[in-house]
Structure 1
């Protein structure tokens, strides 16, 4: 970033970015994690890092390798496991329904993440793939995913301009199945793009990553409201929506409340910084209100006050299922990066206590429950197991450690349902290995 270039960035925001690298966070943001020996591999094992008990990694620059700290694995084993998992999901040639990969190449310079079970391409998966690629220091993979998303998913005109169609057909000409957006996609696209510029620098055209991120953030907040549509981030509620269509009613999704991302947007976005800062605290308060007081479970969709929301595709309003898997992972990230809310420990212990009790009684955990704990599904989920494995980032309870041990032993998901389970599994490994990190503005960018 040139602080004297005011064409697209104000001097105030430029100085904020510059200051970022002088303050304590410089330990984390200005010194990127070690470069990899190949574009899609972690570097040699790093020494175990312990968390700062008074501040998060944003301030301390220290990222905890929980697998090592808990005596589950050696640094070498952790590095190997993270690399092997990434290779399987993103680089395996086994792509059939019973296969291993979720990434599908399109020519030499594009590719997509496929939901194998649903046979479509989703903005959720594309943005998740980009976040994983930037954390793995794999710019080539990141650019392929971003170019595909930009080419086939992002709207160029109309009310939805700059939003991404939430799913496409998985074959040429990759037509949009639904023009509407799923706001968690935009959230992850914007954050991944900012990390990309901070880690690798800006390229040309669509690879001016941070400019693209700011376009998305601006559209999320400032899209004009119409009789039928609302912007996907509510200024009034300071909360992200689940859908923008008014005919379905406006409500939110607890798993979209990623306070750690809002904290970073508050510091790095070109505009609406105060809104993002307030949204981070609103989300922390929201997750406390939306948690079941006994089980700690979350509904998949909820009103702005945390009350479970019934939808046309979710007959049980109090159902806690697939979307809700992600909440504890989001809380673990927020605690690890910012350590801003002591209530997260209470929430994590309540939830992990419920799952531990179920595991003891039933010999497994089930994927779908009502919020009071009643079992709805007859099956479990490796994605749920993975997210529960992040609880040890928030609490040092023995129950949390046991779930981290199960995450370590869990095989990388394959087969028909490997898309969602596999991406959550990869996220959990990155978190627990200390490799899910903040990349802030560097001296080179400034």
Structure 2
């Protein structure tokens, strides 16, 4: 499990017995629905060569979804859509003045009007990684389509804001190398920790920042071991830097439980296993999560404390939860033994295979995670 060195990517759908024809048809169907179906699509074109992804539950465009869309497009070799999403992002979301100069406004109305002037660091992470991949897959262009320079500029801001008289705050804590929930915040979001991205930033960012990102990769893997419960594998949405669930209630709610944001962590661990295979102990997390939920999918219908205590709170994104647990199977080596850990993982991959895309107003987040899982489990979420 080190595709970075070998160039080989697992196809777990084939490992559970699906044919190439079935897999290719599944990918085409999902991509066509997500990007082009008039009733169910998330992606929309806009004037002057632009496009955006909409959060269907909130009727806005978010850096989360926009940067996700760019990563999907570069993986699928969809350059026109990639460039449209990036141009919309730079035109409407990018902030060129004030404390958040160099960052992107996390939410805009679909006409481009900013709903907020604060950034969300997961967007910047995915923007930068998608832009580096675009540079390597398609080559750099001019202006905002000089992908590699745009990626470096984003990371430069993320690390160096607040230095040498520059306004604002960085997106990483420069002392402990952990990504922040928002710039300047005293806590982190475990699902923002992407050590597999940081390994590549450590090669492609400005030379002066490469050592920082190499250390961030190491720190994030160790953090993930701490923040994921040793029995259940569950992690909180927001956490303190020591990995413990954040117990402070924020103005918009309590976020120390296993809920929507937290689902992404296991999927991230799976992709890190696929790309690099470096194990600080975090690669055991996906199997713990799978065993916690067991064979009863109804167990995935409510929220939990990280220790597994059920809460009187229904999940908002059950399809997204299934998708991320399935993607995390990348951390579990293949085996033909019916009593092996892989046999447990294979059940989740099969359940996910049989799960259609979500429909309705809440489909945005679930279907983003769904498409990523389709790419990852078919061997098509790759380093470029």
The reply to whether TM is greater than 0.5 is yes
Match of 1:270 among 200, 206, 209: 206
Partners of 2:280 and 2:77 lie apart in 1 by 32
CA deviation after TM superposition for structure 1 residue 345, in Å? 3.2
- Please give the root-mean-square deviation of Cα atoms over the aligned residues, in Å: 1.8
Aligned to 1:251: 187
CA deviation after TM superposition for structure 1 residue 366, in Å? 2.0
Partners of 1:176 and 1:301 lie apart in 2 by 25
1:277–1:201 Cα change, 3 Å? same
Aligned to 2:336: none
Instruction: Please say if residues 100 and 167 of structure 2, whose CA atoms lie closer than 8 Å, have aligned partners that are also in contact.
Output: no
Structure 2: give runs of 5+ residues left out of the alignment: 334-340
1:417–1:74 Cα change, 3 Å? same
Partners of 1:413 and 1:375 lie apart in 2 by 24
| Residues 1:134 and 2:74 are matched in the alignment | yes
TM score, norm. by length of structure 1: 0.80
CA deviation after TM superposition for structure 1 residue 212, in Å? 0.3
Aligned to 1:281: 218
Secondary structure (helix, strand or coil) at the match of 2:52 reads strand
Aligned to 2:326: 389
Aligned to 1:58: 4
Partners of 1:314 and 1:369 lie apart in 2 by 19
Aligned to 1:47: none
Partners of 1:257 and 1:363 lie apart in 2 by 28
More helix by share: 2
CA deviation after TM superposition for structure 1 residue 92, in Å? 1.4
Instruction: Please say if residues 332 and 391 of structure 1, whose CA atoms lie closer than 8 Å, have aligned partners that are also in contact.
Output: yes
Instruction: Please say if residues 274 and 331 of structure 2, whose CA atoms lie closer than 8 Å, have aligned partners that are also in contact.
Output: yes
State the 4+ residue runs in structure 1 displaced beyond 4 angstroms.
225-229
CA deviation after TM superposition for structure 1 residue 392, in Å? 2.0
After superposition, give the CA deviation of every residue in 1:196-215 in whole Å (9 maximum; x if it has no partner): 01000011111000000000
Partners of 2:267 and 2:345 lie apart in 1 by 13
CA deviation after TM superposition for structure 1 residue 363, in Å? 3.6
Aligned to 2:162: 224
CA deviation after TM superposition for structure 1 residue 364, in Å? 4.4
Match of 1:91 among 33, 36, 40: 36
Aligned to 1:21: none
Secondary structure (helix, strand or coil) at the match of 2:53 reads strand
Instruction: Please say if residues 69 and 82 of structure 2, whose CA atoms lie closer than 8 Å, have aligned partners that are also in contact.
Output: yes
Aligned to 1:240: 179
TM score, norm. by length of structure 2: 0.93
Partners of 2:270 and 2:329 lie apart in 1 by 8
Instruction: Please say if residues 344 and 394 of structure 1, whose CA atoms lie closer than 8 Å, have aligned partners that are also in contact.
Output: no
| Residues 1:437 and 2:382 are matched in the alignment | yes
Residues 104-253 of structure 1 correspond to what in structure 2 (within 5 A)?
A: 104-107=44-47, 109-171=49-111, 174-224=112-162, 229-244=168-183, 246=184, 249-253=185-189
Partners of 1:293 and 1:121 lie apart in 2 by 36
Secondary structure (helix, strand or coil) at the match of 2:218 reads helix
Aligned to 1:302: 239
Instruction: Please say if residues 222 and 281 of structure 2, whose CA atoms lie closer than 8 Å, have aligned partners that are also in contact.
Output: no
Aligned to 2:366: 421
Match of 2:301 among 346, 362, 366: 366
Partners of 2:303 and 2:235 lie apart in 1 by 11
Aligned to 2:292: 354
CA deviation after TM superposition for structure 1 residue 391, in Å? 2.7
CA deviation after TM superposition for structure 1 residue 319, in Å? 1.0
Corresponding pairs, count: 371
Partners of 1:186 and 1:367 lie apart in 2 by 30
Shifted more, 340-349 versus 254-263: the winner is: 340-349
After superposition, give the CA deviation of every residue in 1:179-209 in whole Å (9 maximum; x if it has no partner): 0000000000000000001000011111000
CA deviation after TM superposition for structure 1 residue 367, in Å? 4.8
Structure 1: give runs of 5+ residues left out of the alignment: 1-54, 95-99, 440-446
After superposition, give the CA deviation of every residue in 1:240-272 in whole Å (9 maximum; x if it has no partner): 10012x4xx421000000000000000111230
1:311–1:190 Cα change, 3 Å? farther
Aligned to 1:23: none
The answer to which structure, 1 or 2, has the higher relative contact order (CA under 8 A, 6+ apart) is: 1
Instruction: Please say if residues 329 and 349 of structure 2, whose CA atoms lie closer than 8 Å, have aligned partners that are also in contact.
Output: yes
Secondary structure (helix, strand or coil) at the match of 1:307 reads coil
Partners of 1:144 and 1:170 lie apart in 2 by 14
